[in-house]
Chain A
Amino acid sequence: MSNGLMQPPHSLAALLLSALLAWGLAGTAWAKLTIEITGGVEGAQPIAVVPFGNVDGARPDVDIGAVIAADLARSGKFKPMPRREMLMTPHREEDVDIREWQVLGMNSLVVGEVMPRATGGYDIRYALLDVFSGKTLLVDTVISTSRGLRNAAHRIADAIYADLTGEPGVFATRIAYVTSGDDPSRVALRVADADGFNAQTIVDSAQPIMSPAWSPDGRWLAYVSFEGGQSAIYVQDLGSGRRERIASYEGINGSPAFSPDGRKLAMTLSKDGNPDIYVLELGSRQLTRLTTHYAIDTEPAWSPAGDHLVFTSDRGGQPQIYRIAATGGMAQRVTFQGDYNAAADYSPDGNSLVMVTREGGRFRVVMTDAQGGARRYVSNGSLDESPSFAPNGNMIIYATQNNGRGVLAATPVSTGASHRLSRDSGEVREPAWSPLLR
């Protein structure tokens, strides 16, 4: 994001202070989300992640190998070997008897070890081997603090995934979501690791919170909160908890979406009579109206190139997806199949859209090409919503119902296993997957 966003605190001092207080109260970790693999694993590649060795008295409180194996399994593209089936547990590539792993039918092998650093924390050394050729594909050492071991494991899994698939891994990313507990009127915006661990409350309220959206650098979240008695858009620094109220006009202040360069925030405002799309330049605070129509225009999403946006409009009588240049002008209709298409989001490569569609009274997630054609159902629920792509484009995350409770589901774009994120009690909704982080 551009550096201009947070500089003018003059008249906002009180607001920022209250935000800091809220952050202080909310900063403690909450129970993690429960993760559950749901789909089949046909076509998943066999990989063995040997338990990492502890060298020189290292006593890490995280099982690095287990975190890596769980990450790879969750991607749907890999099927890690159960540990009990491993006959040997080497920690360095020179100790590997590759024929052993060939016999066990593995494609790939990961070995590694954890060593304490003199200055505190750990070195995690690992190697990735191709079992067929016996070649070492990757050797690296990752430095980690004692508290950052899970994140270090996710980064190793990302490197392994990238080496084997040619695409970036998204294990060291985070997911923002809105959640409520046993008291459904109390809601919180939280951010957890992509595997559900390390959930932190960003803000909580007795009033509705909606529509979390990440800045492209992953440092900020924009969201809608009703805490002031009506909807307002806030932008919050995840590092410090500092935040700013960015839009609180009369009427709706909703659907924030950062432009790909992080300099603008598209949003829905109804201050001029009915909901239309506006773009706020964050540095200059200049607000531009993008659509002018008496119908509902909402749910803007930027193309990855930033040159245009898609949005939902019922100007044709039913909600459909339209496209408009980022500079404004005439909107073109994108979707023609079905009588309800809404809340579209682009894939990172810009070639696909994902959206909510209604058919036979069911609301499901559907994927289309960028022109709205080649429709393919992604979800199979009846109240599915809030779909978006993982930052590598390989998975789609959305909100769905499981046994009458709101949960998150992530499903691969091509083949492989799906997984579900839920709370032990209460609801989870409105997932937003972070961009790739650093």
Chain B
Amino acid sequence: MNLHAHPLIVLPAVVLLLAAVAGCATQRPQPAPPSAAELDRLQRSGDGAPAAREPAQPRSPLDDPASPLYRKVVYFDYDTTEIRPEGAALLRTHANYIYQTPGARVTLQGHTDERGTRDYNLALGEQRADAVQRFLIAEGVPAERLSRLSYGEERPAERGRSERAWALNRRVELVY
């Protein structure tokens, strides 16, 4: 799947990430509402009636911007494979969905920022995908529904040479 061809998938994640960065980074001046607030808002709108009003065309929550499942990217700190709290919340939501949806299969695509050597980053991207895989399995997802694929630093979500771009690129994408 070509990510660049699907900006709609990436954009909300960008919004969330910016909120997350603003909330977590120590140097940021404004303690802006972090991802949790964003998540609440998305969940509230997702619980509303719109989806029910179109029973003829049942839309997958994965494609519904109002659903928390619409977001499919978790982000990482520099040179780590640790899943952050907001990532864990998102992954639990997905774990539930995968568990309850027969036939749902997900590829976990691991990515890094451009800093450091390419082959080490390829390995680091896989370890991030691995961390997400272990998390989802621990949440009850059958292992055979999941696979890993690392792109290292080769497929940045955001071009450019800035802390912001780097933060957006250190990620695992859930590709259904």
A interface residues with partner B (beta carbon < 8 Å): 184-185, 206, 208, 210-211, 226, 230-231, 251-252, 254-255, 268, 270, 274-275, 296, 298-299, 312, 314, 319, 340, 342-343, 356, 358, 363, 383, 385-386, 401, 404, 430
Contacts and interface: CB of A to CB of B under 8 A. Distances in A.
Interface string B91-125: 00000000000000000000000111111101110
B149 interface: yes
B126 interface: yes
A268 B123 contact: yes
B122 A254 contact: yes
Contacts of B169: none
30 contacts: A185-B2, A185-B4, A210-B152, A211-B118, A226-B154, A231-B122, A231-B150, A252-B123, A252-B150, A254-B119, A254-B122, A254-B123, A255-B119, A268-B122, A270-B123, A274-B123, A274-B127, A296-B123, A298-B122, A299-B119, A312-B120, A319-B116, A319-B117, A343-B120, A363-B116, A383-B115, A383-B161, A385-B116, A401-B161, A430-B118
A322 B10 CA distance: 38
Given A185-B4, A383-B114, A404-B161, A251 B119 contact: no
Given A251-B148, A252-B126, A184 B159 contact: yes
B155 interface: yes
Given A211-B119, A254-B123, 7 more contacts: A206-B2, A210-B152, A252-B122, A252-B126, A296-B124, A343-B119, A363-B115
Given A230-B149, A251-B148, A252-B150, A299 B126 contact: no
A342 B124 contact: no
Interface of B: 2, 4, 114-120, 122-124, 126-127, 130, 148-152, 154-155, 159, 161
SS of B interface (majority): mixed
Given A274-B130, A275-B126, A296-B127, A268 B119 contact: yes
Nearest to A184: B159
Contacts of B149: 230
A151 B159 CA distance: 38
Contact of A385 (B117, B123, B161): B117
A343 B155 contact: no
